[in-house]
Amino acid sequence: MANTNIQTGTIQSITATISDYYELTKPGITFTVLASMLIGFLMGSAGGMDYILMVHALIGTYFVAAGTAAHNMFLEHRYDGLMKRTSKRPLPDSRIAPKHGVIFSLTLIFAGLLYLSFVVNPVAGAVSLATAMIYLFMYTPLKRISALNVFVGAVPGALPVVGGWAAATGTVFEHGMWILFGIIYCWQIPHVIAIAWVCEKDYDHAGFKMLPKNDPKGIKATLWALLPLIILIPTVYKLYLMELMGWLFLSGGMLTTLAFLWYGIKFAIKRDIPTAKSLMFASFVYLPLVWIFVFLDWMIV
């Protein structure tokens, strides 16, 4: 009986450790990255789908994205411990030692970069490297300096779709790819601003500057959120205009974008927590819906 209890305790301990390391990779964000990469790969594969190459691209991108997320947690673990919503993460809660976290994160990043560069193509590897570098060494420190981090952080947030296109084509010089980049970039700004508005006290307590300074009425934050929402309309239409997408994407994508804009307008009018939460939840739904319309349109064509 004692041996059985020891074995059960050992298995539970191993399972808990694996779960903690998995949490370190920010699974929600990582799988969003993979979805964006996959959309870029699908759109870039107009001449024919290479499913084996797609799987390799997914594997390499997962390693880099998971490692980048884990290293971000390492860089910010002291500040995460100051916020209610992040204080129970593995590093601030001391379930994983910082030195183990950094070894884990860097191993994943370098493994992913090597995999993409040698198994997929060097361009895809270079895009993933740029994504990780901007996220970790520009966006992450800028969060404690200026609210302009929102615009910088949207770049690595939008680059995975470029990485997917590059994995399929070996180039980053095609117009359609950058239209996809523009959709994600414009989506991410109101998404982050809405979260920052809802979690303002938590961010302030940790020293993160996620909203504009000297903006007690939220006028600047409103403009920052609304402008990208407005730009999304012609950006979504551009994919149809370039004949990269058909009527299904156009109708679904435009209706979804107009609904997203409506929540942004409601936030701009009231500028309170309930409307910020509504905009935040709308942002959670928006990108998956747009990608679903892209996929369905691609399937029909």
* pLDDT tens digits, one per residue of 187-215: 999 999 999 999 999 999 999 999 999 89
Residue 246 predicted with pLDDT over 80: yes
* pLDDT tens digits, one per residue of 85-139: 899 999 999 999 999 999 999 999 999 999 999 999 999 999 999 999 999 999 9
Tokens describing residue 172:
């980053």
Mean pLDDT, residues 143-168: 97
Residue 6 predicted with pLDDT over 80: no
* pLDDT tens digits, one per residue of 266-284: 999 999 999 999 999 999 9
Residue 4 predicted with pLDDT over 70: no
Find all residues with CB under 8 Å of 87, minimum gap 6, and list them. 80, 81, 93
What does the pLDDT read at residue 12?
76
CATH number belonging to the domain at 18-172, selected among 1.10.357.140, 3.40.50.620, 1.25.10.10, 3.30.565.10: 1.10.357.140
**Residue 132: closest CA among 209, 40, 62:** 62
Find all residues with CB under 8 Å of 138, minimum gap 6, and list them. 152
Percent of the chain with pLDDT over 90: 90
Domain locations in the chain? 18-172, 174-301
What does the pLDDT read at residue 161?
98
What value does the mean pLDDT of the chain take? 94
Tokens describing residue 10:
């050992």
Confidence band, pLDDT 50/70/90 cuts, at residue 7: low
Residue 2 predicted with pLDDT over 60: no
What does the pLDDT read at residue 299?
84
70, amino acid identity? A
Mean pLDDT, residues 164-168: 97
What does the pLDDT read at residue 85?
87
What does the pLDDT read at residue 283?
98
Q: CB count, 10 Å around CB of 209?
A: 18
